[in-house]
Structure 1
Amino acid sequence: MPQSRTPNAVTAPIVAVIVAVVSTLFGKSIGAMPGGMIIWPAIEFFVLGTAVFAAIHHADVIAHRTGEPYGTLVLTVAVTVIEVALIVSIMVAGDGSPTLARDTVFAVLMVVCNGLVGLCIIVGGIKYGEQGFRLPGANAYLVVLMPLATLTLILPNSTTSVPGPYYNVTQLAFVTLATLVLYGVFLYVQTVRHRDYFLSDPGKAVDHDGSPPSNRDLTISVVLLIAALVGVVLLAKHVAETVKIGVTMVGAPIGAIGLLVAILVLMPESLAAMRAARNNQLQKSLNLALGSSLATIGMTIPAVAVVSVVLATPLGLGLDNRDLVLLILTFGVSLVTFGGGRTNILPGFVHLVLFATYVFLIFSP
């Protein structure tokens, strides 16, 4: 478990709030300075990235102390706040991006289910040959992830009340409720009813490393987590326009923004999942990886849906045919990969090829 007070984890939230306040009060003046339009946005983006890492670190510290089911909820809420702040800020920046939520959620699925899962399986397979995992736990992730993805990313293309990949308000409300119910039941199964499905050693009551932090460290982490999340939310709107301008300047398609947001949000958990695979803890890797994709759909989509209704901004959710093929293929391969309880490097490389195909098709559709 990470220490509760590393220097970066302490300073990053404070710096993020300071930079956000400076951007709000003096952003135009700084941008008018020589080089300000390049240097200051780069500083904002760097500070935003460090604040994301700090937020996940302190959420992990709090989760380790509070235990389940509250630990999982703390991590989920922290990731959701970060992701929603980035998505909504970019959605409403400039001319708006009504499909950004869809692109980001799909990017998270591809990054997690193909990129991260593939890397973890390869890293563990190269070092240990084969690695085992709890089959009921993997099945629980997939049995919830597939209908959630279908409801939010596929079904909108088949409804007729509103043309295009959109739900009307009533349909969006129903899908939001269904999504929250499915994710809530999954959390109950994972943290209370069948916790042993998700433990590397089902004989153990918990699956944490190290001793829990003291009350003082816990209090510090709560304060710094709040500061980090405030910094991320405030910085997100300043970074949003810069990201859109940068993507346009390099000639990248708008779908690249979703991939960028997904990578930024998933980076801390991805590094933890890689470390777990290297330590022969594939079950922990799967918990971190597949849990991230479930949280993205289960919490982020409902939150973005509420914001879109309140702000009266369009929310395009349905995938195009190209991405739909990749999503169905990903789920089919995942069913085979996680169908036997053990993995080797072969399925890992298959998942990586699917991820490379997804990235390639963003830039060469």
Structure 2
Amino acid sequence: MSAHPVPRSSWLFPASAVAFVAVTAALGIGFTPSVSGILFSVVLLAILFGTVFAAVHHAEVIAHKIGEPYGTLLLTLSVIIIEVAVIATIMIGEKSAPTLARDTVFAVVMIVCNGMVGLCILAGGLRYSEQEFQVSGAKIYLSVLIVLSTMTLILPNYTLTTPGPLFSALQLAFVSVITMILYGLFLYTQTVLHRDYFINDDEDDDGAPPTHSIKMNAILLIVALVSVVALAKSFSVVVDAGGAAIGAPAAFTGIVVALLVLMPEGVAAFSAARHNKLQKSINLSLGSALATISLTIPAVALVATLLGQPLVLGLPPSETTLLVMTFAISMLTFATGVTNILFGMVHMLVFAVFLLTVFAP
């Protein structure tokens, strides 16, 4: 069998990122509120998003070659490294951001469970009228996702050891360990114990096409991840400036970070739904939300502890209401194993309400 052609972007964007970091560091170029600053921002965002796509591509190729469960774990870790790097960089910056981790995780849940899921179901429903998926797999996703979201985003509002929507050091450590254990059990269930729950008989598990050797993909993956980490500081400055320019609230930064991390998986999920592979679309969507909560919260908790910064996790009442409504709708959407455009439209409208409450609370 002949090898598939290697996408040019898989090495072009990481190489461009390395060159961009080297040139801007050597010449002392950074963002400024000017025409040149706008050009800097455009180039930065194009290279950054392209490099994130490249990193996910190489992780998927390696995951396909090394098999499960190691492949899923590698792909998950690659995405989480990017997210934690961006969040930690912003936390270390001059402007305090104690709610950034909470805003990002909440944005991920809203984008995934309403935006991505709604768009995929709507696109598939418009093309095929109805699409089928495994109810057993969807129930596992939702059960773990509901528990993790409640523990990390709602429970801090009701603990008494510390005032405000905060966990104490002991509580934060305990919850961090619990989330990692629960995610580990989920991975074991998904990849070993009950793989059939997450695969439809009429969907081929074709994975990512082989390209370079695994060594070359590993090198390019490392280069891409390191490049994203190096670009994170400039990205945080641009996001802060953009948010200030449009008068956006603090939660805007969390939404941008969530979009940066979720975009590659979102594109893949939408494409799968368009090709009548809704099960794969659900795996990509809900799996990315699970990974974000399970691994981002413990990593950011460690960073906050080392920096001596508070980590606000509890959601305000309006966002808690949206979270509860999202899970209630999701339980109904994934209850029968069949979807149609109405389910997709409902999720899309809830996502629109989420965006409205961010900019007009």
TM-score range, shorter chain: over 0.9
CA contact (8 A) 1:4 1:58 kept: no
Question: Aligned residue for 1:168?
Answer: 168
Pairwise CA distance, 1:219: 1.7
Give, in whole Å, the separation in 1 of the partners of 2:5 and 2:72: 17
Give, in whole Å, the separation in 1 of the partners of 2:45 and 2:92: 18
Question: Aligned residue for 2:17?
Answer: 16
Letter of the structure 2 residue corresponding to residue 271 of structure 1: V
Question: Aligned residue for 2:109?
Answer: 109
1:213 is aligned to 2:210? yes
Question: Aligned residue for 1:327?
Answer: 323
Pairwise CA distance, 1:36: 3.5
1:209-235 CA deviation, whole Å, 9 max, x = no partner? 47x526x53221111110000000010
Question: Aligned residue for 2:93?
Answer: 93
CA contact (8 A) 2:199 2:280 kept: yes
Query: Superposition pairs for residues 307-318 of structure 1, below 5 Å?
Result: 307-318=303-314
Give, in whole Å, the separation in 1 of the partners of 2:272 and 2:15: 30
1:256 is aligned to 2:252? yes
Aligned to 1:189, the other structure's residue is in SS state helix
Aligned to 2:276, the other structure's residue is in SS state coil
1:158-212 CA deviation, whole Å, 9 max, x = no partner? 111211111111111000000000000000000011111001228x9x82247x5
Pairwise CA distance, 1:31: 5.6
Give, in whole Å, the separation in 2 of the partners of 1:37 and 1:130: 48
Query: Superposition pairs for residues 204-353 of structure 1, below 5 Å?
Result: 207-209=205-207, 213=210, 216-353=212-349
Give, in whole Å, the separation in 1 of the partners of 2:99 and 2:75: 26
CA contact (8 A) 1:272 1:285 kept: yes
CA contact (8 A) 2:109 2:289 kept: yes
Letter of the structure 1 residue corresponding to residue 188 of structure 2: Y
1:17-37 CA deviation, whole Å, 9 max, x = no partner? 221233334335x66897443
Give, in whole Å, the separation in 1 of the partners of 2:291 and 2:22: 30
Number of matched pairs = 359
CA contact (8 A) 1:5 1:217 kept: no
CA contact (8 A) 2:80 2:295 kept: yes
Pairwise CA distance, 1:39: 2.1
1:310-334 CA deviation, whole Å, 9 max, x = no partner? 1112111000000000000000000
Give, in whole Å, the separation in 2 of the partners of 1:239 and 1:52: 13
Give, in whole Å, the separation in 1 of the partners of 2:324 and 2:339: 21
CA contact (8 A) 2:86 2:233 kept: yes
Question: Aligned residue for 1:39?
Answer: 39
- Structure-2 change in CA distance of 1:10 and 1:3 (3 Å): farther
Give, in whole Å, the separation in 2 of the partners of 1:295 and 1:91: 21
- Structure-2 change in CA distance of 1:190 and 1:33 (3 Å): closer
- Structure-2 change in CA distance of 1:23 and 1:4 (3 Å): farther
Identity fraction in percent: 50
Question: Aligned residue for 2:183?
Answer: 183
Where structure 2 has 5 or more consecutive residues not aligned to the other structure, the ranges are none
Pairwise CA distance, 1:289: 0.2
Letter of the structure 1 residue corresponding to residue 210 of structure 2: P
- Structure-2 change in CA distance of 1:4 and 1:95 (3 Å): farther
Question: Aligned residue for 1:27?
Answer: 28
CA contact (8 A) 2:117 2:282 kept: yes
Question: Aligned residue for 2:62?
Answer: 62
Give, in whole Å, the separation in 2 of the partners of 1:258 and 1:33: 22
Aligned to 2:336, the other structure's residue is in SS state coil
What root-mean-square deviation, in Å, do the aligned CA atoms of Structure 1 and Structure 2 show? Answer: 1.9
Give, in whole Å, the separation in 2 of the partners of 1:65 and 1:4: 16
Where structure 1 has 5 or more consecutive residues not aligned to the other structure, the ranges are none
Letter of the structure 1 residue corresponding to residue 154 of structure 2: I
- Structure-2 change in CA distance of 1:195 and 1:26 (3 Å): same
Pairwise CA distance, 1:3: 5.3
Pairwise CA distance, 1:76: 0.2
CA contact (8 A) 1:20 1:234 kept: yes
Give, in whole Å, the separation in 2 of the partners of 1:234 and 1:280: 38
CA contact (8 A) 2:31 2:234 kept: no
Pairwise CA distance, 1:90: 1.8
CA contact (8 A) 2:31 2:237 kept: no
1:103-157 CA deviation, whole Å, 9 max, x = no partner? 0000000000001100111111111111110011000101100000011100011
Give, in whole Å, the separation in 1 of the partners of 2:138 and 2:354: 23
TM-score with structure 1 setting the length: 0.94
